[in-house]
C-alpha cells in the first residue's frame, strides 16, 4: 500500500493536506520535524514524501540530503512558497521528483503524487534487485553478467574456464538468489540494475 | 608833544651804538611810484622818530613780497590781512599795528574789499551775464583784487574757473580799469575804492562803469563784497623785540597830525575763515603741496604700494571668483546629494514595504493552503457520497476564493521582487478578458451595495484580451475603481482601444479631477489625498502594470457627461513573440 508522508512544521496545513489526501484515498502519515521523521518512518518502501521547503531546525533541503544519503526509496515532492522556486528546481536536479507551489489544488497534487508513486515503486523494485544481487558471490556475479549478455551455458563455460556442469549449478543458485522464476525474468532484472548507471553506485557501496 | 616823543625816543635809543638799515616791504597795489609816494610819510616819520635807524620803503608786488620775506631782505612789511595770513604761514610775523586812518580823515583807505565792474555801455547788468566772458583780475592770490570777488561770484552761483574766462594782469591795479575801458575785457574785479581814487586823480570817469554786485557799506566807495581791515604793519622774526617795541610805540604814538594813524592790530580771523571757505588758505595749499612733494620723493615706495594694492585687488577678485565657483559646485553637489537621499529614502520605503509584503504573503499563504485543502477534501468526500450535494457549489466557491487570495499574494510578491530588481517570470501568464475582469471586480467589490449611486459604462467586448499574469488586471482595476468611487464619481467609463500596436484601456471618472501638483506626484509612494489613505494604491498599480509590460498614466480630463474627472490610461504595447 502506498504511503504519503507529509513533513511540514505548520500543523494546521499538514492536517488539512492529510484531510485532502485521505479523501483521495491515500494513506497519510504526518510529521512535523525532520528528526522525528527519520527516527520513526519506514524509509525503504514505496511511498512519497511531501516535503515543505521552509522549516525551522531541519529544512526541506537538509531532509532531502539525508534521504539521498540513506538511499531511501521514497519519492520526494517539494511543496514551496513563492520565493523558493529556484531552490526547488535545484533539488529536482538532485533527485526530487516534483515540486508544487502552495497553495496547491487537488488535481495537480494528485497527478504529482501518482507520478511520484510510480517513481518510488521503480526505485523500490530496483532496490530489491540490488539487495538480491549483493548476495551473489563474485563468481556468480560474473556468470550473471554473461547470462544477461545472452551467452549460452557452453559459451559461459569456455569464457570462465569452468565445466558446463558447474555453470549449471551456479546458474541455478543465481536464479534462486535473484528470486527469478524464469530466464527472461532474470535477464530483465539484471538489465535493470546493470544498465542503470546509478545502480553501479549501489553495487560499489 | 612831538618834542616829548623825540625825547623819549632819544632815551630809548641811547643804548644803541650802531645804526642799521631796515627795509619795509609795502604791497604795491597801484604801482611802484604811487606806492612810494603814498608811503613816503611813514618812512620819514620812522627815520625821524628813531634816530640812528634807517628805514627804507620797498614797494613789492605779491610774489616779490613773498620772495623778500623768504629771503629775509625785508624786516618789516605793510600789507593787507590776506597777504599777512599767507606770509605768516611761511615765517612767523609779529603784528605790530593796523592802520586806522590816513590824513584827510578818509576811512576808505583802511578797508579792503572787491568790486566787480563792467562798462556801463556794455549792457551787462548782472553777474550771470558774465558767463563765457573775459573777466580781468589782479592775481590769483590777490585778496581785494581777486579772492573777495571770487567769493562773491561763488555766492551768486557762478564757478569762476569754469564759467568765466579769467585774465590776470598783475599790479598795478589801474591797468584793469584801463583794459576795461578799452573793451579788452568785459568785466574786472578790482579792490574797493580804486575806481574812486582814480577818478579823484582824474584818470578815469566813474560814470563809465557800473558795479555788477553791490554790497551796502559804510563807505562811499562802490563795493561788491563785505569789507575787511586793510593795511597792517608787521615785523619779521629777526627784528629784535626792542626795535619792534620802539617801532610800535612810534606808530601808536604818531600824533593826530601825522599822515598815518595806527592802532592795535586787527584780527585776521575773519580773513582766515574766508580763505578757508574758498580754499585759498595757505595751510590747505601747503598740505597738498607737501603731499605732492612727498609722493614725488617716495615714487618708488608709492609705486610698490600701488602695485601691491593692485595685486591684492586682483587676488581678491580671483578669490571671489573661486569662492563663487566652489559655491556653485557645492550647490550642485548638494542638489545631487538631496536627490540621492530621496532615492535612498524611496528605496528604503520600498524595501520596508517589500519585507512587509513578503512576510505577510508567506503567513497568509499557509492558512490559504489549509483552506483549499479542506475545501477540496470536503468536495471529494461529498462527491463520493452524493454527486449532486447542495454544498458542493459553496465548497467550490471557498476553493476559488482561496485561490484568488493566493493569486493576489503572488502578484504582490512578484511586484515586490521586481521592485527589488528581480527578473520577470512569465510562465503562468495567460489571456485575460478585459471586460470580464472589470465585471469580476465590480461584482467582488459589491459596488451595487456599497456605491449604489455609481454606474459603470463599458465600451469593451469579451474578445478583447491581454496576455497577463492571473489577477493582475483585476488588482489594478480594483484599486482604480475604488479610487474613483471614493472620490465621489457617479459614473465610471471603461474604454478599450484595441490596435495592432497594442491595447489601451482608459478608466475615466467624473469626480472633479485632482490638483495638478498632486497629479504630478501621483506615482510617488505615500502621497495621498485621503486622510486614511496609505498613498500606495497608484504605486502598486504602476508596479503591477509595469510588471505586466505595460505603462500607466494619469491626467485630468473631461468625462463624456461634460464634468471634469480623472482619466487613468493603461497602455499595453504588443510584444513580438
Q: Can you give the pLDDT at residue B315?
A: 95
B53: DSSP letter:
E
Q: Does A89 touch chain B (CB under 8 A)?
A: no
Asked if residue A153 and residue A57 are part of one domain, the reply reads: no
In sequence order, the 6+-apart residues with CB closer than 8 A to the CB of B114 are B144, B145, B146, B147, B148, B149, B152, B189, B190, B191, B192, B223, B224, B225
Asked if residue A141 and residue A120 are part of one domain, the reply reads: no
Chosen for mutation from B367, B368, B376, B416 (greatest number of chain A CBs closer than 10 Å) is B376
Domain assignment present for A146? yes
Q: Please compute the mean of the pLDDT values over residues B174-196 and round it to a whole number.
A: 86
Residue B106 has pLDDT above 60, yes or no: no
Would you place residue A83 in the very low, low, confident or very high pLDDT band (cuts 50, 70, 90)?
Answer: low
CB contact under 8 A, B370 and A15: yes
Asked if residue A154 and residue A199 are part of one domain, the reply reads: yes
Asked if residue A30 and residue A98 are part of one domain, the reply reads: yes
Q: What is the share, in percent, of chain B residues with pLDDT greater than 90?
A: 7
B-chain residue closest to A100, CA distance: B369
Q: Can you give the pLDDT at residue B82?
A: 76
Neighbours of B37 (CB within 10 A): 11
d(CA A167, CA A173): 10
Q: Which residues of B touch A108 (CB under 8 A)?
A: none
A-chain residue closest to B375, CA distance: A20
Q: Across all residues in chain A, what is the average pLDDT? A: 83
Half-sphere exposure of B561 (CA within 13 A, CB side): 14
Residue B14 has pLDDT above 70, yes or no: no
Residue B354 has pLDDT above 80, yes or no: no
- Whether omega before A103 lies within 30 degrees of 0, making that bond cis, reads yes
Q: Which of A60, A89, A124 is the last residue of a domain?
A: A124
Q: Widest CA span of chain A, in angstroms?
A: 67
Q: Which residues of A touch B368 (CB under 8 A)?
A: 102-103
B-chain residue closest to A86, CA distance: B425
In sequence order, the 6+-apart residues with CB closer than 8 A to the CB of B466 are B431, B432, B434, B473, B503, B548, B572
> Chain B closest CA to A125's CA: distance in Å?
31
Q: Where are the beta strands (DSSP E) in B8-102?
A: 20-27, 53-60, 76-79, 94-102
Cell of B34: 604811487
CB contact under 8 A, B369 and A22: no
Q: Can you give the pLDDT at residue B17?
A: 43
B15: DSSP letter:
T
Q: Which range, A178-182, B194-198, B396-400, is most confident?
A: B396-400
Would you place residue B329 in the very low, low, confident or very high pLDDT band (cuts 50, 70, 90)?
Answer: very high
B267: DSSP letter:
P
d(CA B142, CA B166): 14
Q: Please compute the mean of the pLDDT values over residues B460-466 and round it to a whole number.
A: 83
Domain assignment present for A8? yes
Domain assignment present for A57? yes
Q: What is the CATH number of the domain that holds A51?
A: 3.40.50.2300
Q: Which of A12, A20, A83 sits opposite B376 (nearest CB)?
A: A20
Domain assignment present for A41? yes
Asked if residue A107 and residue A17 are part of one domain, the reply reads: yes
Residue A196 has pLDDT above 60, yes or no: no
Nearest to A55 by CA among A45, A47, A66, A70: A66
Asked if residue A22 and residue A96 are part of one domain, the reply reads: yes
Asked if residue A192 and residue A113 are part of one domain, the reply reads: no
> Chain B closest CA to A15's CA: distance in Å?
8
| Interhelix angle A183-195/A138-148, nearest 10 degrees | 100
Q: Which of A99, A124, A149 is the last residue of a domain?
A: A124
Residue B425 has pLDDT above 70, yes or no: no
Q: Please compute the mean of the pLDDT values over residues B281-309 and round it to a whole number.
A: 82
Domain assignment present for A152? yes
φ/ψ (deg, to 5) at B16: -80, 125
Name B189's bridge partners: B116
CB contact under 8 A, A103 and B413: no
Decide: A77 and A113 in contact? Cβ < 8 Å: yes
Would you place residue B577 in the very low, low, confident or very high pLDDT band (cuts 50, 70, 90)?
Answer: very low
Nearest to B425 by CA among B437, B434, B417, B435: B417
First vs last C-alpha separation in chain B: 148
> Strand, coil or helix: what is B99?
strand
Q: Does A166 touch chain B (CB under 8 A)?
A: no
Would you place residue B420 in the very low, low, confident or very high pLDDT band (cuts 50, 70, 90)?
Answer: low
- Whether omega before B400 lies within 30 degrees of 0, making that bond cis, reads no
Asked if residue A145 and residue A102 are part of one domain, the reply reads: no
Q: Does A83 touch chain B (CB under 8 A)?
A: yes
Q: Please compute the mean of the pLDDT values over residues B167-181 and round it to a whole number.
A: 85
Residue B576 has pLDDT above 60, yes or no: no
Domain assignment present for A148? yes
Neighbours of B187 (CB within 10 A): 26
Cell of B6: 623825540
Lowest mean pLDDT among A30-39, B3-12, B202-211, B325-334: B3-12
Decide: B50 and B205 in contact? Cβ < 8 Å: no
Residue B416 has pLDDT above 80, yes or no: no
Residue B574 has pLDDT above 90, yes or no: no
Residue B149 has pLDDT above 80, yes or no: yes
Domain assignment present for A120? yes
Asked if residue A140 and residue A114 are part of one domain, the reply reads: no
d(CA B34, CA A7): 147
B-chain residue closest to A106, CA distance: B376
Lowest mean pLDDT among A63-77, B141-155, B221-235, B352-366: B352-366
Q: Which residues of B touch A23 (CB under 8 A)?
A: 376-378, 380-381, 384
Would you place residue B71 in the very low, low, confident or very high pLDDT band (cuts 50, 70, 90)?
Answer: confident
Q: Which range, A60-74, A86-100, B204-218, B288-302, is most confident?
A: A60-74
Asked if residue A152 and residue A68 are part of one domain, the reply reads: no
Q: Please compute the mean of the pLDDT values over residues B276-299 and round it to a whole number.
A: 76
Name B323's bridge partners: none
In sequence order, the 6+-apart residues with CB closer than 8 A to the CB of A142 are A160
CB contact under 8 A, A103 and B369: yes
CB contact under 8 A, B369 and A83: no
Residue B311 has pLDDT above 90, yes or no: yes
Half-sphere exposure of B13 (CA within 13 A, CB side): 22
Structure confidence by residue, pLDDT tens digits, B117-143: 888 888 888 888 888 888 888 888 788
Q: Can you give the pLDDT at residue B324?
A: 95
Q: Please compute the mean of the pLDDT values over residues B250-263 and round it to a whole number.
A: 78
Burial degree of B367 (CB within 10 A; 0-12, 13-18, 19+) = middle
> Chain A closest CA to B407's CA: distance in Å?
10
Q: Please compute the mean of the pLDDT values over residues B262-282 and round it to a whole number.
A: 76
Chosen for mutation from A12, A18, A82, A110 (greatest number of chain B CBs closer than 10 Å) is A82
Give the 3-state secondary structure of chain A.
CCEEEEECCCHHHHHHHHHHHHHCCCEEEEECCHHHHHHHCCCCCCEEEEEECCCCCCCHHHHHHHHHHHCCCCEEEEEECHHHHHHHHHHHHCCCCEEEECCCCHHHHHHHHHHHHHHHHHHHHHHHHHHHHHHCCHHHHHHHHHHHCCCCHHHHHHHHCCCHHHHHHHHHHHHHHCCCCCHHHHHHHHHHHHHCHHHHHHHHC
B170: DSSP letter:
-
Cell of B11: 632815551
Q: Which of A124, A159, A187 is the last residue of a domain?
A: A124
Give kind and range of the element (H or E) at residue B568: strand B564-573
First vs last C-alpha separation in chain A: 29
Q: What is the CATH number of the domain that holds A170?
A: 1.10.10.10
Q: Across all residues in chain B, what is the average pLDDT? A: 81
Decide: B227 and B80 in contact? Cβ < 8 Å: no
- Torsion angle in degrees (nearest 10) through CA of B352, B358, B361, B364: -80
B-chain residue closest to A83, CA distance: B413
Q: Please compute the mean of the pLDDT values over residues B2-29 and round it to a whole number.
A: 62
Q: What is the share, in percent, of chain A residues with pLDDT greater than 90?
A: 13
Structure confidence by residue, pLDDT tens digits, A117-160: 998 888 888 888 888 888 888 888 888 888 888 888 888 888 88
Would you place residue B318 in the very low, low, confident or very high pLDDT band (cuts 50, 70, 90)?
Answer: very high
How are strands ordered across the β-sheet holding A75-80?
A: A27-31, A3-7, A47-52, A75-80, A98-101
Asked if residue A171 and residue A142 are part of one domain, the reply reads: yes
Chosen for mutation from B358, B362, B373 (greatest number of chain A CBs closer than 10 Å) is B373
Q: Which residues of B touch A13 (CB under 8 A)?
A: 366-367, 369-370, 373
Asked if residue A169 and residue A116 are part of one domain, the reply reads: no
- Domain count of the fold of chain A: 2
| Whether the predicted model's global pTM rises above the 0.90 cut | no
> Chain B closest CA to A79's CA: distance in Å?
11
Would you place residue B531 in the very low, low, confident or very high pLDDT band (cuts 50, 70, 90)?
Answer: low
Q: Which residues of A touch B369 (CB under 8 A)?
A: 13, 16-17, 102-104
Cell of B41: 610819510
Q: Please compute the mean of the pLDDT values over residues B489-507 and round it to a whole number.
A: 88
Q: Does A102 touch chain B (CB under 8 A)?
A: yes
Nearest to B68 by CA among B233, B236, B231: B236
Q: Which range, B22-36, B74-88, B300-314, is most confident?
A: B300-314
Residue A89 has pLDDT above 70, yes or no: yes
Neighbours of B159 (CB within 10 A): 11
Q: Does B381 touch chain A (CB under 8 A)?
A: yes
Q: Can you give the pLDDT at residue B109?
A: 61
Q: Can you give the pLDDT at residue A199?
A: 44
Q: Please compute the mean of the pLDDT values over residues B9-38 and round it to a whole number.
A: 70
Which domain, by its residues, includes A64?
A: 3-124
CA distances from B133 to B144, B157, B197, B280, B441 (A): 21, 16, 27, 24, 105
> Chain B closest CA to A3's CA: distance in Å?
18
ipTM: 0.74
Domain assignment present for A130? no
Decide: A167 and A179 in contact? Cβ < 8 Å: no
B16: DSSP letter:
-
Amino acid at each position: 500500500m502506498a504511503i504519503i508522508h507529509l513533513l511540514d512544521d505548520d500543523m494546521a496545513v499538514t492536517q488539512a493536506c492529510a484531510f485532502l489526501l485521505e479523501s483521495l484515498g491515500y494513506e497519510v502519515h504526518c510529521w512535523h520535524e525532520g528528526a522525528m521523521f527519520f527516527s520513526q518512518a519506514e524509509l525503504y518502501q514505496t511511498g512519497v514524501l511531501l516535503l515543505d521547503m521552509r522549516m525551522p531546525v531541519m529544512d526541506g533541503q537538509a531532509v532531502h540530503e539525508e534521504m539521498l544519503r540513506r538511499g531511501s526509496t521514497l519519492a520526494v515532492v517539494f511543496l514551496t512558497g513563492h520565493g523558493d522556486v529556484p531552490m526547488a528546481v535545484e533539488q529536482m536536479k538532485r533527485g526530487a521528483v516534483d515540486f508544487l507551489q502552495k497553495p496547491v489544488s487537488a488535481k495537480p497534487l494528485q497527478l504529482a503524487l501518482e507520478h511520484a508513486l510510480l517513481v518510488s515503486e521503480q526505485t523500490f523494485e530496483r532496490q530489491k534487485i540490488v539487495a538480491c544481487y549483493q548476495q551473489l558471490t563474485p563468481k556468480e556475479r560474473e556468470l550473471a553478467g554473461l547470462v544477461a549478455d545472452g551467452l549460452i551455458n557452453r559459451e559461459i563455460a569456455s569464457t570462465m574456464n569452468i565445466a558446463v556442469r558447474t555453470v549449471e549449478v551456479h546458474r541455478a543458485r543465481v536464479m534462486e538468489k535473484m528470486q527469478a522464476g524464469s530466464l527472461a525474468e532474470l535477464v530483465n532484472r539484471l538489465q535493470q540494475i546493470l544498465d542503470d548507471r546509478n545502480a553501479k553506485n549501489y553495487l560499489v557501496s | 608833544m612831538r618834542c616829548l616823543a623825540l625825547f623819549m625816543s632819544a632815551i630809548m635809543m641811547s643804548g644803541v651804538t650802531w645804526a642799521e638799515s631796515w627795509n619795509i616791504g609795502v604791497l604795491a597795489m597801484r604801482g611802484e611810484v604811487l606806492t612810494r609816494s603814498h608811503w613816503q610819510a611813514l618812512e620819514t616819520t620812522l627815520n625821524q622818530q628813531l634816530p640812528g635807524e634807517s628805514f627804507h620803503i620797498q614797494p613789492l608786488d605779491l610774489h616779490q613780497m613773498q620772495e623778500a620775506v623768504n629771503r629775509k631782505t625785508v624786516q618789516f612789511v605793510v600789507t593787507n590781512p590776506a597777504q599777512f595770513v599767507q606770509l605768516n604761514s611761511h615765517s612767523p610775523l609779529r603784528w605790530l599795528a593796523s592802520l586806522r586812518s590816513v590824513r584827510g580823515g578818509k576811512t576808505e583807505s583802511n578797508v579792503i574789499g572787491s568790486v566787480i565792474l563792467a562798462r556801463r555801455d556794455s549792457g551787462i547788468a548782472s553777474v550771470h551775464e558774465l558767463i563765457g566772458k573775459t573777466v580781468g583780475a589782479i592775481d590769483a592770490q590777490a585778496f581785494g583784487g581777486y579772492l573777495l570777488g571770487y567769493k562773491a561770484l561763488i555766492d551768486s552761483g557762478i564757478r569762476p574757473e569754469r564759467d568765466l574766462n579769467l585774465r590776470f594782469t598783475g599790479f598795478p591795479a589801474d591797468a584793469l580799469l584801463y583794459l576795461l575801458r578799452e573793451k579788452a575785457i568785459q568785466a574786472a574785479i578790482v579792490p574797493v575804492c580804486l575806481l574812486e581814487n582814480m577818478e579823484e586823480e582824474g584818470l578815469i570817469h566813474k560814470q563809465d562803469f557800473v558795479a555788477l554786485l553791490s554790497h551796502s557799506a559804510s563807505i562811499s566807495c562802490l563795493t561788491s563784497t563785505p569789507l575787511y581791515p586793510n593795511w597792517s604793519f608787521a615785523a619779521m622774526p629777526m627784528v629784535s623785540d626792542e626795535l619792534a617795541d620802539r617801532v610800535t610805540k612810534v606808530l601808536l604814538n604818531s600824533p593826530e597830525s601825522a599822515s598815518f594813524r595806527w592802532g592795535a592790530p586787527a584780527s585776521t580771523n575773519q580773513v582766515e575763515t574766508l580763505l578757508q571757505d574758498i580754499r585759498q588758505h595757505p595751510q590747505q595749499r601747503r598740505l597738498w603741496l607737501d603731499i605732492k612733494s612727498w609722493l614725488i620723493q617716495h615714487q618708488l615706495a608709492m609705486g610698490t604700494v600701488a602695485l601691491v594694492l593692485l595685486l591684492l585687488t586682483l587676488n581678491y577678485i580671483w578669490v571671489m571668483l573661486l569662492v563663487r565657483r566652489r559655491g556653485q559646485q557645492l550647490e550642485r553637489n548638494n542638489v545631487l546629494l538631496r536627490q540621492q537621499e530621496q532615492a535612498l529614502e524611496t528605496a528604503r520605503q520600498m524595501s520596508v514595504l517589500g519585507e512587509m509584503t513578503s512576510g505577510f504573503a508567506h503567513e497568509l499563504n499557509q492558512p490559504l493552503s489549509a483552506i483549499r485543502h479542506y475545501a477540496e477534501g470536503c468536495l471529494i468526500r461529498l462527491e463520493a457520497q452524493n454527486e449532486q450535494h447542495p454544498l458542493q457549489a459553496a465548497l467550490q466557491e471557498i476553493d476559488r476564493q482561496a485561490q484568488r487570495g493566493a493569486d493576489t499574494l503572488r502578484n504582490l510578491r512578484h511586484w515586490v521582487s521586481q521592485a527589488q530588481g528581480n527578473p520577470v517570470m512569465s510562465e503562468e501568464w495567460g489571456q485575460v478578458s478585459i471586460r470580464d475582469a472589470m465585471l469580476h471586480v465590480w461584482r467582488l467589490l459589491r459596488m451595487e451595495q456599497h456605491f449604489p449611486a455609481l454606474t459603470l459604462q463599458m465600451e469593451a467586448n469579451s474578445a478583447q484580451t491581454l496576455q497577463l499574469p492571473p489577477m493582475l488586471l483585476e488588482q489594478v482595476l480594483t484599486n482604480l475603481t475604488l479610487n474613483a468611487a471614493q472620490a465621489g464619481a457617479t459614473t465610471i467609463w471603461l474604454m478599450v482601444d484595441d490596435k495592432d500596436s497594442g491595447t489601451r484601456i482608459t478608466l475615466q471618472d467624473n469626480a472633479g479631477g485632482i490638483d495638478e501638483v498632486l497629479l504630478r506626484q501621483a506615482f510617488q509612494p505615500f502621497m495621498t489625498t485621503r486622510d486614511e489613505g496609505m498613498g500606495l494604491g497608484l504605486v502598486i498599480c504602476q508596479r503591477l502594470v509595469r510588471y505586466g509590460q505595460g505603462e500607466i498614466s494619469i491626467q485630468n480630463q473631461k468625462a463624456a457627461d461634460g464634468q471634469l474627472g480623472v482619466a487613468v490610461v493603461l497602455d499595453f504595447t504588443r510584444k513580438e513573440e
